[in-house]
Structure 1
């Protein structure tokens, strides 16, 4: 199993030489919302798949899942 890790949006914007304002204009999402995804995931949560797909398309990513680092979840003992 996998769990969502850190949002990669900051690094992706830097690589593409785009600002949060640029992304806001291209997607229609507010700068403050974009900033929350970048800085405040624990409070705001992971962006919805519809938003991630829009952002991934704007950034030229193959998949919306590329917006996050993915971590392997620790194995949980199962009660069978």
Structure 2
């Protein structure tokens, strides 16, 4: 059976699509601007709770936040 894993974060694209800055997302979610930057630049992966909060703030699905990779 194939396993699905998270790839690169798509937050940069989603912020541009929503015409929202990292600073604005920080204000909406309560996460620091540095934390948002870490996710955008793929230095860290979001926790489940963080992904749910960010998805809600950007009006998207949690699955939209990362490229999905199928591992065989």
Post-superposition CA distance 1:50-70 (Å, at most 9, x none): 010000001001x21210010
TM-score (norm 2): 0.91
Question: Of the two, which has the highest radius of gyration?
Answer: 1
For 1:34-53, list aligned pairs within 5 A: 34-41=36-43, 44=44, 46-53=45-52
In structure 1, stretches of 5+ residues that fail to align are: 76-80
TM-score (norm 1): 0.82
Q: Which has the higher strand share?
A: 2
Aligned residues: 70
Structure 1: which 4+ aligned runs deviate by more than 6 Å? none
